[in-house]
Amino acid sequence: MLEVSRLRKVYGADPQAAPAIDDVTFSVADREFVCILGSSGCGKSTLLRCLSGLIPATSGEILLHGDPVLAPPKDMAFVFQDYSRSLLPWMTVARNVSFPLRYKGVSKEDAQKATEEALEAVGLSGRQKRYPWQLSGGMQQRVAIARALAYRPKILLMDEPFASLDAQTRFDLEDLLLDIWRRFDVTVLFITHDIDEAVYLADRVLVLEAPAKVALDVDIPLPRPRDQLKTKQLPEFAELRTRLFSAIQREPAAL
């Protein structure tokens, strides 16, 4: 459903400058859960911003259902890492979830229904009238996820969405995300620097090397549904995480 070929991004006008993304090629199948794993500064976020159509690529091609992505597509939703800035403080939780729908051409009743459903899916029904800053960090990111769900996307892009949450909240939200992924039939492209998180969530992990280039494409054949305790105890889990860990570790040595 998503095909990226020979993607390259250089910031600024000079084409000879060091690229943020060098040469990225990969594809994501329908309803697949793909994690992009990379250490900080390897161009993960730039890649995701290109894929979402927020910034133009220098060269290469991004096809979503065969159509080139030039602007944010209507069936793509984005969840940012910085939830406290991505949620608008002057809007209530419900408004934060529903405001994009109006611009997508959804009727008022449908928007309200979608908002209620999405908030229920993330376990926040009954908090519609609160303001985001009255909620804890984990709940704020749930609101941002609800906003993405209410948008009814075919593909969900997530830029290190749980990186600034504490461990327990992160585990809860990982399970919530897996549950949502199954129930809402979406494709997820999830960026993270956390190896365990990538292995736990994904069908496939792409390891990114700086400047962004796909260094490794690993299938994660762990059984589903996954469980924070049981899955992480499997010997295969340990094997996969070791493999990815050594792949990530190799890069600083090369610098």
Stretch that binds another protein, among 47-55, 188-196, 200-208, 241-249 (CB under 8 A): 47-55
Query: The tokens of 57 are what?
Result: 């690529």
> In angstroms, what is the minimal distance from the CB of 144 to another protein?
9
Q: What are phi and psi of 11, to 5 degrees?
A: -80, 145
x/- binding map, residues 152-191, to another protein, per CB under 8 A? ------------xxx-xx--x-------------------
**At its nearest, how many Å lie between another protein and the CB of residue 228?**
15
Chain residues 127-146 in contact with another protein, contact rule CB under 8 A: 127, 130-131, 133-139
Characterize the bridge pairing of strands 204-209 and 212-219: antiparallel
What b/e readout covers 152-179, taking b as 16+ CB neighbours within 10 angstroms? bbbbbbbbbbbeebeeebbbbbbbbbbe
Residue 171 near residue 194, CB atoms below 8 Å: no
Cβ closer to another protein: 12 or 90?
A: 90
Sign of the CA dihedral with 148 first, then 1, 164, and 213 last: negative
Q: Could you give the string, one character per residue 190-229, with x where binding to another protein holds by CB under 8 A and - elsewhere?
A: ----------------------------------------
State the binding string over 92-131 for another protein (x if CB under 8 A, else -): -------xx--xx----------------------x--xx
Report whether 38 contacts 197 (CB < 8 A). no
The one-character DSSP state at 30 is: T
Q: How far is the CB of 164 from another protein (least distance, A)?
A: 4
Binding region for another protein (CB under 8 A) out of 33-41, 86-94, 203-211, 240-248:
86-94
Query: Of the candidates 231, 127, 135, 126, which has an alpha carbon nearest to the alpha carbon of residue 175?
Result: 231
16, two tokens: 């000879």
Binding site for another protein (CB under 8 A): 49, 52, 54, 72, 74, 76-78, 80, 82, 84-86, 88-90, 99-100, 103-104, 127, 130-131, 133-139, 147, 151, 164-166, 168-169, 172
